[in-house]
Amino acid sequence: MISALLKKEWMEFTRNYKLLIMSCIFLFFGFSSPLMAKFMPDILTNFLPKEVAESFPAPTAFDSWAQYFKNISQMGLFVNVLVFGSILSNERQSGTLIIFLTKGLKRPHVIYVKSIFSMAMWTIFYILAFVITYVYTAIYFDTSVISQLFLSVFLLWLFGIFILSVTILGNVLFQSYFSTLLFTAAIVVVLFIISIFPKLEKISIIRLANENNAILHGQFQLSDYSYPIALTILCCLIFHLIAVRLFNRKEI
């Protein structure tokens, strides 16, 4: 029954053009990040005075990865939430889950399948964009100056997992797609507010998504993120536990 639900998720993912949307967007991120860094100075020379254009420093591998992290942390995560913001709520409204539940599928398994599928898709497309950026950055720039790249990439991926956990919980709390999006946005706003306070800055989860460039420059080490990583994993587990318990009590 679980395999049937996973197959159903994949079919809906392809039929609703979500596969095409995410493929196009993350492929664009992968190719555009190094290409924009490489050719942006040449583009600017066509629109700016020569003296101004020549004043810009020569692009480096840092610029390529800065563009990558900007694309993923801003647009990539946003698209991810849009795509999976209704992964459960739509089926609750239409009543299609009743068919699986009446045939013996346990309610917690619904949450597990939805989470596994959405996180697997996020991971696949994130890696796709990363590999393309990595290859083209190595072609155009000297990458020996980059340090701790995989730590920086891992932290942003983990933040994406956190956002999906929030989205899954929002799907259980609300039947409205728009309400789920507002709930996810509210949690992100709370994270930004928490990061403002100096005493809470070291454990702030938002650091996983806004210090990636600083990590590449060697300003932070893995040990600096022990608390944020542990807190993120704990929150993901708690959100899923709450989602399972609430879903067990929800009327379908």
212, pLDDT greater than 90: yes
Interval 159-183 mean pLDDT = 94
Q: Judge whether 39 and 63 are in contact, CB under 8 Å.
A: no
Q: Any idea which residue has 């003296």 for tokens?
A: 51
pLDDT band at 37; cut points 50, 70, 90: confident
What's residue 82's pLDDT?
93
* pLDDT for the residue 229: 97
Cα separation, 128 vs 133, in Å, equals: 9
- Which residue carries 């939805």 as its tokens? 114
Q: Give CA torsion, residues 168, 172, 178, 184, to 10 deg.
A: -40
pLDDT at 95: 67
Higher pLDDT residue, 53 or 237? 237
For 76-100, the pLDDT digits (tens) are 999 999 999 988 877 777 667 777 7
Q: Distance between CA atoms of 132 and 135, rounded to whole angstroms?
A: 5
Q: Is the pLDDT of residue 53 over 60?
A: no
**Three-state DSSP string of 82-140:** HHHCCCCHHHHHHCCHHHHHHCCCCHHHHHHHHHHHHHHHHHHHHHHHHHHHHHHHHHH
- What's the per-residue H, E or C state across 212-234? HHHHHCCCCCHHHHHHHHHHHHH
Question: Helix 61-70 and helix 18-44: axis angle, to 10°?
Answer: 140
> What integer is the mean pLDDT of 113-130?
96
Q: What is the mean pLDDT of the chain?
A: 88
Place of tokens 């698209």: 79
- Please indicate whether residue 120 or residue 15 has the higher confidence score (pLDDT): 120
The reported pTM is 0.92
Distance between CA 73 and CA 80 in Å, rounded?
10
Q: How many CA atoms lie within 13 A of 65 on its CB side?
A: 28
For residue 120, the model assigns a pLDDT of 96
| Distance from C-alpha of 195 to C-alpha of 204, rounded to nearest angstrom | 5
pLDDT of residue 248: 86
Residue 73 makes CB contacts below 8 A (sequence gap 6+) with 156, 159, 209, 210, 212
